[in-house]
Amino acid sequence: GARGGAGAETQVGNDLGSPEPLRWLLRSPFDRNVPVQLELQELLLDHVFQRLGVSSQGCVDHPIVLTEAVCNPLYSRQMMSELLFECYQVPKVSYGVDSLYSFYHNRRQNWPCSGLVISSGYQCTHILPVLEGRLDAKHCKRINLGGCQAAVYLQRLLQLKYPGHFAAITLSRMEEILHEHSYIAQDYTEELQKWRCPEYYENNVHKMQLPFSNKLLGSTVASEERQEKRQQQLRRLQELNARRREEKLQLDQERLDRLLYVQELLEDGQMDQFHKALVELNMDSAEELQSYINKLSLSIEQTKQKILQSEVNIEVDVVDSKPETPDLDTLGSEQSLEDVESINEFEPLFAEEQPEAEKPVAAVQPVFNLAEYHQLFLGTERIRAPEIVFQPSLIGEDQAGIAETMQYVLERYSKEQQAVLVQNVFLTGGNTMYPGLKARIQKELLEMRPFQSSFEVSLASSPVLDAWYGARDWAVEHMNREEGWISRKDYEEKGGEYLKEHCASNVYVPIRLPKQPPRAAEAPGRASGTGNPSEQ
């Protein structure tokens, strides 16, 4: 894109930083895994040579080993050879298949050997039979599904599950989830049944935290205003508590005065009036009267001390849930019952506010937890996304999965050849790094192979980088040989689509031009040698 007034600027690969803002502006020379835009390929090669410290001015005086797609179209190879020989003037070129280079790097002692290579990459998955160290291109098959389709499917699942985080669920994050959290279920249906159990879900669900800001969008209340509002609430609560305590003290004092009046009747010898008052108070004796007087006096004294303490210390006191003068309801005072009930109504408010009042204002936490709201819970999505290479119908693709395609390829061979191929089933490519994939392939082979037949499944030591390691090994071993190298003389004589085969290459199928039909009989005038000399 344009950068100031300096014209267009090109950035390649990791120089882009985060690709998400430019996701739909990125340009690539590839259509799936086949290069078709050679002007962009030239930019990539310039970048590669610059990073390697190889001067590309005039010519690149180094042999080039390049990977290409399985059964690469001749036109694509022709354009690539033309770019390398005509633009960069390279001395010689060799083309090979990335998964076969990986197979070559992980080769066994008895090379050349046979095997069934399962290569799953970013755009597609290949099933490649290798017989005696050479690719049998006639029976290799491709599934147009890979890591890219799994990431898009996972993005669709999570965007439907969390519509509030639509923009945050990007393809880059989905690829990260696929690499770090996904796995292949050995039995997909049985695994889904396990996820229905709440206990299994709690033990196996993965939580992914999305970035968020503590500042609530649309909030216009400043922190000072919130603190002032909190202080006002505390002051109102203090006033309410003090008022209730004073009302309680006044009622208790009135009850005490009444009980002391009845006691004075006993001391004055007015026994008739004394016994009448005892009956009204539901009391049986003077000892019971004295006991209630002592309890009420103690309650009044405690209430006065609390009032004095609240005036000295600014704090919110919580009214006890139990009445401070038990069994006073037997005094028969309706006001006492109403007072206790009204205090109990405010008790939950006091009990909830008390811990908050003792904490500093800055420690008050909002009820709504933003961190939990911005979490993605990965449950069955962990197995649903990578399952598409076994069941393409999950995303509406009318294709066969890996197991069906593998069985179809094996059925093209005799039983003896099948037994040889399944002894070395080799998994490579970045999309084969899911935990459980090897066990799933073994399970599928066990179901399709005859009873008590043997097979062996192996995974590349480094599924992503083994293609490069294999190409390096091959180049070092064949540097001084002519096998597999296309020289400039070969390019000029046989065309850009020409390919020299080797153990990790495609099979070369030359262009067969249709036979020209015999020329029509010459015109009579030309046959007789007459006519206009200019026309002849």
pLDDT at 321: 38
Whether residues 191 and 208 share a domain: the answer is yes
Q: According to the model, what pLDDT value does residue 6 have?
A: 56
247 and 204 together in one domain: no
Query: Long-range contacts made by residues 58-64, C-beta under 8 angstroms, separation at least 24?
Result: 58/89, 59/88, 59/89, 59/90, 60/88, 60/89, 60/90, 61/89, 61/90, 61/91, 62/90, 62/91, 63/90, 63/91, 63/92, 63/93, 63/94, 63/475, 63/479, 63/485, 64/90, 64/92, 64/93, 64/94
The answer to whether residue 450 is domain-embedded is: no
For 495-518, letters b (16+ CB in 10 Å) and e give ebbbbbebbbbbeeeeeeeeeeee
The per-residue pLDDT for 79 is 95
**Tokens standing for 356?**
């908050």
User: Rounded to the nearest 5°, which phi and psi values hold at 490?
Assistant: -60, -40
| Same domain flag for 247 and 182 | no
Residue 413 in domain: no
User: Of 260, 285, 311, which closes a domain?
Assistant: 311
Q: Are residues 228 and 164 in the same domain?
A: no
Residue showing tokens 């208790």? 252
State the CATH number of the domain containing residue 468: 3.30.420.40
What DSSP state is assigned to residue 282? T
Other Cβ atoms within 10 Å of 129 Cβ, number: 24
> Do residues 236 and 197 share a domain?
no
φ, ψ at 458 (rounded to 5°) = -130, 150
Residues 48 and 98 occupy one common structural domain: yes
77 vs 16, 39, 94, 95, 505, CA distance in Å?
28, 14, 11, 9, 13
The DSSP line for 426-476 is: EEESGGG-STTHHHHHHHHHHHHSPTT----EEE-SSTTTHHHHHHHHHHH
Let me know if residue 364 belongs to a domain.
Answer: no
Q: Is residue 245 situated within a structural domain?
A: yes
Q: Which pLDDT score, from 0 to 100, does residue 371 have?
A: 84
Look up tokens 């923009």; give the residue: 167
Same domain, 206 and 229: no
Q: What are phi and psi of 3, to 5 degrees?
A: -125, 95
Residues 307 and 251 grouped into a single domain: yes
Question: Can you list the pairs that 497-502 forms with residues at least 24 positions away whose Cβ atoms lie under 8 Å?
Answer: 497/74, 497/75, 497/77, 497/78, 497/81, 498/81, 499/77, 499/95, 500/94, 501/134, 502/94, 502/96, 502/474, 502/478
- Last residue within a domain, chosen from 280, 311, 342: 311
pLDDT score at 322: 40
Distances (CA, A) of 392 to 122, 156, 180, 303, 441: 15, 15, 22, 78, 16
In contact, 155 and 464? CB cutoff 8 Å:
no
**Cα separation, 246 vs 240, whole angstroms:** 10
Instruction: Specify if 479 maps to a domain.
Output: yes
Domain count, the chain: 3
Q: Answer whether residue 423 is part of any domain.
A: no
Q: Token digits for 516? A: 């020209």
Phi and psi at residue 210, to the nearest 5°:
-85, 150
Same domain for 98 and 162? no
| Ramachandran angles phi, psi of 425, nearest 5° | -90, 115
Token output for 433: 């790094």
97 and 29 within one domain? yes
Asked if 33 and 78 sit in the same domain, the reply is yes
CA distance from start to end of the chain: 58
- Of 455, 461, 395, residue with least CA distance to 428: 461
| All residues at 6 or more sequence positions from 225 whose CB lies less than 8 Å from its CB, including other chains | none
pLDDT of the residue at 276? 81
d(CA 96, CA 193): 44
Could you tell me if residue 88 is inside a domain? yes
The encoded tokens of residue 350 equal 């006091």
Residue 172 sits in a domain whose CATH number is 3.90.640.10
| pLDDT tens, N- to C-terminus, the chain (536 residues) | 555 555 567 888 888 878 888 888 888 899 888 999 999 999 999 999 999 998 877 789 999 999 999 999 999 999 999 999 999 999 999 999 999 999 999 987 777 889 999 999 999 999 999 999 999 999 999 999 999 999 999 999 999 999 999 999 999 999 999 999 999 999 999 999 999 999 999 999 999 999 887 765 444 456 677 788 888 888 888 888 888 888 888 888 888 888 888 888 888 778 878 888 887 887 878 888 888 888 888 888 888 888 877 766 544 444 443 444 444 344 344 444 444 454 455 454 444 444 444 444 454 455 668 888 889 999 999 999 999 999 999 999 999 999 999 999 999 999 999 999 999 999 999 999 999 999 999 999 999 999 989 999 999 999 999 999 999 999 999 999 999 999 999 999 999 999 999 999 999 988 776 776 776 544 454 444 444 444 44
CB atoms under 10 Å from CB of 25, counted, come to: 8
125 occurs within a structural domain: no
256 and 302 co-located in one domain? yes
Give the pLDDT of residue 430.
94
Residue range of the domain that includes 88: 13-110+464-494
Using DSSP, state whether 52 is helix, strand or coil.
Answer: helix
